[in-house]
Structure 1
């Protein structure tokens, strides 16, 4: 990533003097003396303003001195003066990232790669920008290109594995890391990543093996130690987990690792019955995460609440009844889809209310395909909001019936096509299913759209004691950090708002939606599972009671819980924490607690 120390030879004294100056400036940069290098290059460009290499080195020096704007100007001047090398475009791109202009950075990375296709640092960082922008296919392409030129690039390999796991391709993610270990078995970070994925995929022996290997290569590796603590907890040894967590070298831990450590300490302390210490540990985790994310705790929830208010205000019930696709039998409007296209079962409810458990139980039935955590309904709502003048639902209800129904039919077909494409995966054994589960807690926000597109579809509402939901959301580390989850107060506010939203859009909840109480599901599982199967139109199958024996990982914070048979230790767990919960939280939840038939019994 550096220029040659000696430029092309010349017989002229100025050229030799410039070559010597460039060589000394480069040496200064390598020795960590950017101030001296910047001064030397400044003198050189004053004498030779057309010396592109001098402008380039001055740009690197200024960036090291945190004069990022000056660095960009110098690097751009270097290219204008003829130093149009791949490294120059690459360094401009890195500078643009520091300035927050990711679009400009992406363009410069592409120029660097056009000039030098095997510049793997550029392809890796371009992949990271694509990933950040949500262009996952492009990100996968550029990470793959990086590894094609440099199979030993551990950072690209780890990032690609994370991306593949995010795309629910856990097997490929693990295979990618296994290939890296075969090339470089002494890289502890690869073993840590493999341990992480195997633990998420509910393969504790493999997670244990890779964690121990990482620690053998890097004694005291904090990430591997935390994974070993998780595994000890899963084996029923919370005391051993706490010993590992308390013994980790915190000076070596990143802020993100500290977030995880505090949360895992909370879990261990909870299991040991040390509830006040557990609550303090969980709060430390959330406060550290909030600082890391630079969000105020209440942010995020306010955005969700505002979207719900827009839908409620615009939900004209007369127009709703006119436009809901009630006469759209499953195959009437799917002209481009097979007649056996499976139909949805929607599972909704607040985070940590039991939605993953219900999806896992239903998905054990041979006629029902579990689809993981889908975001298709969220995507559909965003698409309609962007497409319609006036947004959704106002923009839709303002249209003539024919035009509005045509838009809804197209949206419905697009939704089912995406589901069909996922189920057509040759590696997916669910292609014969006639039903599938669309499980996403945020489906509750979009119940109005669900009813417009699929008014006859079964909707199961996961219900759990509101205070248990709030505490569990506060205690858990979500894969995506939700700003509203950083304090019990913010979680309670969003829960109460979501409860009101469902009530506002569900005038007949008993007839239209099947409520499934977590507490009853745990206490009398067969009766509740039979009721769910009857509601969705599926015959009884005892496999649903053995849901925990299904292969495959779960991409939610409930991954460890649903790998076990049903247990009741989380029922009314809030009672252990009542002394530590602010009265404002209890007041916020009181209407929902009463409406759902719960109380605050100790």
Structure 2
């Protein structure tokens, strides 16, 4: 702010520093023509107008300042903020872009542009602007929090984790931000940090504090339930009596929806499916954001499915996917095209290349390589992961996209995947393995001599990279009846925008399934990996035999600890996939042949799936 240059500017500055914004505006009304051309007078007037909610007047004041001094980025920034608050978003964007042309390294400008794009739901642009702000000012906590949320919406887990590194030590956040931060920390598996964030949340003044306390209690219920701590969740639910939710004011829709959702989730856990259905319908009756609406619709579909009300369950599922498509449209609009391929991996086909065409390189043996668990999502990968993790010789790191990150890393240095795998030098391969191990070490610093379990279903699309870095690795392909897989996928609230699109319709999902297996078997023919096909239905019907078979494949003398996976999963608390509750229940047949309840919906895609039903051994 320029130093006061007139008596009027001095008086206005005194009023501003005393917190008397209205007096600043009143004094400005006494301005002479000379005063009106004074920068200090105009800056103070604009700030006071902004502070008192006169956003359009503030925008006009700052526009005049920017015209007076077009070389001052701060005035363009002030103009942008005032325009955004006034609802003139195009003018705000133009002002910020002008400011950035003058001061490209100003973190606050990138932050404000990110906030603008967030308000417009232009999530990819918001993510980049906010990441730029955090890169320029690593201690800019607000920028890191907002960047993490934009990454969360975009399904960018890697950058989200980077932005939230050290978040447990951040200052206490206003309650609204604390709710967002705690949800993201929970997704990363850090329940303690999520709960601490809520405990330190700064409540608003007045009656709004009581409303926020209910929202925080509802969040705690969901956090405990998500981490399989059911007793703690039930205790927290007592802080959300129905009468308190009914008594909320009309404008507390989000709090009411949060409370009913917490009750619905717990009703599902205790098997009260009719109660859960009614509660989810209450949530959907509220005016809420798209993410909350989609989650409630998926919950409603599950509650109806459990009651055997399949047509109504399918209807709720369609509502959920329509809502998720509205979310995805603002992140990956190009994937909404009818011929889009959401599962497409960077790079093209290998052509006629095979493992024999690669330059020979030294690599770890099988016992010093990860065990890769792959397969189309919802094929039983989480069940297998927990079985392996229950064994003292193995350690899983939950679902991470580190192999995908290595592929992206090749592109960043100008290498083409998968073609340039053939020309990797020993140094290149060692460096890629080093990057992989460094990423793993952040998650499992105590891995030691145990064998890493890398469970990521869609690593089935990354077989060339796996075989180049770990050619002796044991790979387990999880299989399940294709129709059961597709049904389960279509009933899950996936967070990835690409997966929201993929699962939005059975035809699109069936095409994605077929393409995934076409690529898998093409790569298997080229590279001849050591693969065990792990069939979900066989595990359910012949559990002990399959455990022995698994132990033999992994060259483990005693596989018996794997049979105690359910107890292990309950003790583990956080499991990132939608199967977090099911794997604590042990093996059962409830999920086998479930698709038959929706056979009418599947009829149109059966011709596309039939070749895979036959090839994978599921012909009726």
Checking the alignment, whether the CA contact within 8 Å between 1:265 and 1:278 is kept in structure 2 is yes
SS in 1 for 2:452: strand
**Which runs of structure 2 are paired with 1:136-285 in the superposition (5 Å)?**
136=160, 139-140=163-164, 147-148=170-171, 151-180=172-201, 187-214=213-240, 218-219=245-246, 221-248=256-283, 250-285=285-320
**Which runs of structure 2 are paired with 1:330-409 in the superposition (5 Å)?**
330=365, 342-387=368-413, 389=415, 391-397=416-422, 399=423, 404-409=425-430
Checking the alignment, whether the CA contact within 8 Å between 2:369 and 2:472 is kept in structure 1 is no
Aligned match of 1:304:
343
Change in CA separation of 1:582 and 1:36 when aligned onto 2, cut-off 3 Å: farther
Aligned match of 1:487:
505
Checking the alignment, whether the CA contact within 8 Å between 1:63 and 1:71 is kept in structure 2 is yes
Distance 2:101 2:373 in 1: 58
SS in 2 for 1:577: helix
Distance 1:65 1:86 in 2: 23
Residue 287 of structure 1 deviates from its aligned partner by 1.5
**Which runs of structure 2 are paired with 1:17-28 in the superposition (5 Å)?**
none
Distance 1:505 1:471 in 2: 26
Change in CA separation of 1:378 and 1:264 when aligned onto 2, cut-off 3 Å: same
Residue 555 of structure 1 deviates from its aligned partner by 0.4
Q: Deviations over 1:106-143 (max 9, x none)?
A: 667899x89xx9x9766754665687775346522685
Aligned match of 2:249:
none
Aligned match of 1:518:
536
Change in CA separation of 1:590 and 1:458 when aligned onto 2, cut-off 3 Å: same
Deviates more, 1:311-320 or 1:259-268: 311-320
Checking the alignment, whether the CA contact within 8 Å between 1:164 and 1:173 is kept in structure 2 is yes
Does 1:456 pair with 2:472?
yes
Checking the alignment, whether the CA contact within 8 Å between 1:352 and 1:469 is kept in structure 2 is yes
Distance 1:90 1:533 in 2: 52
Residue 178 of structure 1 deviates from its aligned partner by 3.5
SS in 1 for 2:181: helix
Distance 2:114 2:529 in 1: 58
Residue 49 of structure 1 deviates from its aligned partner by 10
Residue 490 of structure 1 deviates from its aligned partner by 1.2
Calculate the TM-score normalised by the size of structure 1: 0.79
Aligned match of 2:7:
none
Instruction: Select 1:415's aligned residue among 431, 436, 443.
Output: 436
Change in CA separation of 1:330 and 1:54 when aligned onto 2, cut-off 3 Å: closer
Residue 274 of structure 1 deviates from its aligned partner by 1.1
State the number of aligned residues: 565
Instruction: Select 1:591's aligned residue among 601, 605, 611.
Output: 611
Aligned match of 1:313:
351
Does 1:538 pair with 2:564?
no
SS in 2 for 1:521: helix
The gaps in structure 1 that reach 5 residues or longer are: 332-340, 426-430
Deviates more, 1:220-229 or 1:25-34: 25-34
Change in CA separation of 1:228 and 1:342 when aligned onto 2, cut-off 3 Å: farther
Calculate the TM-score normalised by the size of structure 2: 0.77
Does 1:70 pair with 2:91?
yes
Distance 2:109 2:477 in 1: 56
